[in-house]
Amino acid sequence: MLPRFSAQMFEQKKRGAPGKRSRRCGGSSKRLKKRDRPCRQTCEGNKKLSQRKQGALDRLRKTKMAELAKDEAAVVMQHTVLDSTAEDERRARPAGQAAPQVQQAQEEACRVMQELRRIRKAQQEEDKRAQQAEQEARMVELAKEEAAVTVQHIVLDFTVVTFSAGLAIESVLSGFESCRVTVKNLPADTTIKDVHRLVSWQGIEPEHFYIAGLRGTSSAKQEADLISHNFLRMDTMMHILFRGEQLKFEILDHGRGDGMSASTLDPNVLTLTWRGPSAPFLVTYESVAEAEAKVRALDRKVFLGKRVKAEVNRQQNLFSVGAEV
């Protein structure tokens, strides 16, 4: 914007003013141009000042905006804290209201557990009593079984004494009322239990016979020696088949130099016999057949006034013969 005096001069020149004035005006114009320089500098200074003010205002505005944002964040945070506190209070309020129900449920659970423990304990006691009663019944059965068990013992080779529990004497089968029975042609795998069962099946009571033992023969068979009551007719068992084998029975008296027997002349007289002093011998052979042949040749033979008793020595081996003279 031009100064005011310059505008007047411009108007005068436009109306056709004299040249003198024009020259003055022209000279004045030059002077005005020189005078306009400080004005332009002032305008530029004002512009810079305005820019600085605008920058300060912008910075102030930014500062205010930052403070407002900070305050807004603080307000939001405060609202968040308040909302969280309210949520905690809202959650805590039902928990406080449900506390009696929880306590009641816990008490009910405790009562149930106590009842279960009581039932389990009662069941354990019942099982213990049942087990104890079963053990007592088993002990009674064992006592009955033990009381029924008998043990037989041989005295003087022919007297059979039967003992029960407590060494109580159940029966005595004396030598003068017993006899020796040999059961032959038994299978090689026969046991004493098999022989006992075989004799019992014939109706003979266990206290009326005793199995002295089993011995093998050269024909791969076995023979059983029994002591039985003499009123039992073993000859009725002569035609018995055992495992497909025809059994043979041999009844012997006690006239072998020892034992007890009744007098044939006077039944009230009891005769006792026993072995005199003897000398044992043990002879070994190369085969069992030779040993058994020697037994048959020497058994019950008289040598130097004494009767020889010969038998295969089963305790040592199958090839030795024991003899007493």
Closest CA to 174 of 154, 194, 196: 154
pLDDT digits (tens, 9 = 90+) for 154-205: 776 677 888 877 777 878 887 777 778 888 888 888 898 998 888 888 777 8
**Residue 93 pLDDT more than 70?**
no
267 and 283 together in one domain: no
Amino acid, res. 138: R
More confident site: 255 or 212:
212
More confident site: 20 or 42:
42
Listed in order, strand segments (DSSP E) in 132-221 are: 151-155, 159-163, 169-173, 178-186, 209-216
187 and 261 together in one domain: yes
Q: What is the pLDDT of residue 254?
A: 57
Q: Which helix (H) or strand (E) holds 60?
A: helix 19-148
Q: Which domain holds residue 194?
A: 174-275
- Looking at residues 232-256, what average pLDDT do you find? 70
**Residue 79 pLDDT more than 70?**
no
Q: In angstroms, rounded to a whole number, what is the distance separating the alpha carbons of residues 314 and 70?
A: 119
270 and 178 together in one domain: yes
- The string of DSSP codes covering 95-111 is HHHHHHHHHHHHHHHHH
Sign of CA dihedral 180, 182, 183, 186: positive
Using the 8-state DSSP alphabet, how is residue 247 labeled? -
Q: How many domains does the structure of the chain reveal?
A: 2
pTM: 0.39
271 and 200 together in one domain: yes
Tell me, yes or no, whether 7 lies in a domain: no
- Looking at residues 222-236, what average pLDDT do you find? 74
Q: How far is CA 30 from the centre of its chain?
A: 127
259 and 297 together in one domain: no
- Looking at residues 16-37, what average pLDDT do you find? 47
Residue 30: pLDDT band (50, 70, 90) is very low
190 and 263 together in one domain: yes
Q: In angstroms, rounded to a whole number, what is the distance separating the alpha carbons of residues 311 and 320?
A: 9
Q: Which helix (H) or strand (E) holds 260?
A: strand 259-262
Tell me, yes or no, whether 297 lies in a domain: yes
Residue 89: pLDDT band (50, 70, 90) is low
Q: Which helix (H) or strand (E) holds 273?
A: strand 270-273
270 and 307 together in one domain: no
- Looking at residues 92-110, what average pLDDT do you find? 72
pLDDT digits (tens, 9 = 90+) for 1-24: 444 445 555 555 545 544 444 444
Q: What is the pLDDT of residue 141?
A: 85
Q: Which helix (H) or strand (E) holds 248?
A: strand 248-252
Closest CA to 183 of 258, 233, 246: 246
Percent of the chain residues topping a pLDDT of 90: 0
Residue 229: pLDDT band (50, 70, 90) is confident
Q: In angstroms, rounded to a whole number, what is the distance separating the alpha carbons of residues 98 and 96?
A: 5
More confident site: 27 or 282:
282
191 and 231 together in one domain: yes
185 and 223 together in one domain: yes
213 and 288 together in one domain: no
